[in-house]
Structure 1
Amino acid sequence: MKEKLKLYSYWRSSCGHRVRITLSLKGIEYEYIPVNLLKGEQFDLDFMKINPMGTVPALVDGEVVITDSFAIIMMRSNPEPPLLPRDLHKRALNYQVASIISSGIQPHQNLAVIRYIEEKTNGEEKIAWVNNAIRKGYTGNIIKNQETCC
């Protein structure tokens, strides 16, 4: 019998949300192992052995550990039910939206990035900086393509 998947995540992590939504849509069972980012549990030695980057999510599938939400989602994209449209153009737009979120919006919400910005500036500047990145990503691509991508 194959060992159940283990998902190391934090309930407030948008990356973790993406993975949990995917696993749920696919009906894939997993063991949820919480990693409290606010308490710094991602830097505990035991967790660093699983993911030396000290980030969540981390999916343990037997001997394989995948530590990127997009990679985890793509690993679980088949078989049925499909996560992406079969139409090539719609599928490409979905990949575009995923890329914008994972590389253009989400990193600006990352706790480490937010703390760094706040150290260099102040709380108001931090919020303005993050809001700018989110607004640019959503209005520039995601909202524009929402009716044609899905």
Structure 2
Amino acid sequence: MSHLKLHGFFNSSASYRVRIALGLKGLEWEHVGVNIRTGAQNGIEYKALNPAGLVPTLEHGAVRVTQSLAIIDYLERLRPTPQLIPADGPERTRVLEIASLIACDIHPLNNLRVLKYLTGPLELSEAQKQQWYLNWIEQGFDALEAWLPAQGGFCVGETPTLADCCLVPQVANAQRMNVDLSAYPRILRINEHCLRLAAFADAAPNRQPDFVA
């Protein structure tokens, strides 16, 4: 198998999702740090790799894949087991619902470039930025909590899926922003269970080579 390189940032939720998937698949990979706090993602060299100027980007030989869900789909085809996206049936539908809710509805409204735009060009205060963040977390987590099972350690079924790969980074993101998550016991239960597994624990931001406190 050709060498896998993941261009990402330790605190990027999207990069975090892919790191979890790589760990669950048992794939060897190289971390290439892209400091999105200093704008490295907008540099000429990185934009030649990923014209959107976002992280992560996966390199696999001559293949370049951007967008975390597309990367995880690529990994699913590269190494089909363990399966992270059920092949069919209601479990597949629910996994994709949860992943899409987090990756398409919650996270894009609260990622770094949006928050910087709020306090930069739009001149919102830190308190207004926090209220923006909290509004979208609450709307998204209210829906997510309702979709999750009352018991069990994972979002769907008895094994980790794409849904769990998305949930854990989003919880870490919310905790970093000091959001009170006590209203979401199912989310917290699944997050805590997943973090007991090596693939999730090893993917945590503070275990990455580019981590900065």
Post-superposition shift, 1:86? 5.2
* TM-score computed with the length of structure 2 as normaliser: 0.66
The answer to whether the aligner puts 1:124 opposite 2:127 as a matched pair is: yes
Residue 85 of structure 1, CA deviation? 4.0
**1:16 aligned onto 2:8:** no
CA separation in 2, counterparts of 1:84 and 1:115? 33
Q: 1:143 aligns with which of 129, 142, 145?
A: 145
Correspondence for 1:31: 30
CA deviations 1:5-54 (Å, max 9, x no partner) are 11100000000000000011001111110011111111122111111111
Aligned partner of 1:101 in structure 2 is: 102
SS at match of 2:108: helix
RMSD: 1.5
Q: Residues 44-89 of structure 1: CA distance to partner in whole angstroms, max 9, x if unpaired? A: 2211111111110000111121110000111122411111345611
Partner-residue secondary structure (3-state), 1:38: coil
Which amino acid counterpart does residue 18 of structure 1 have in structure 2? Answer: R
- Cα distance in 2 for residues equivalent to 1:104 and 1:13: 16
Higher RCO (CA < 8 A, seq sep 6+) = 2
Question: Which segment drifts farther, 113-122 or 95-104?
Answer: 113-122
Matched, 1:4 2:3: yes
Count of aligned pairs between the two proteins: 148
User: Which structure 2 segments of 5+ residues have no match?
Assistant: 150-154, 158-213
Please name the residue that 1:88 is paired with. 89
Listed one character per residue, the Cα deviations across residues 77-117 of structure 1 (whole Å, up to 9, x for unaligned) are: 24111113456112111100110111111112211110111
CA shift, 1:122, in A, is 1.6
List structure 1 segments (4+ residues) > 2 angstroms apart after TM superposition.
84-87
How far apart, CA to CA, are the structure 1 residues paired with 2:85 and 2:55?
Answer: 24
Query: TM-score, normalized by length of structure 1?
Result: 0.92
Structure 1: gaps of 5 or more residues:
none
Secondary structure of residue in 2 paired with 1:77: helix
What is the distance in 1 between the residues matched to 2:73 and 2:114? 26
CA distance in 2, matches of 1:149, 1:3: 32
Q: Percent identity?
A: 35
Three-state SS of the structure 1 residue aligned to 2:76 is coil
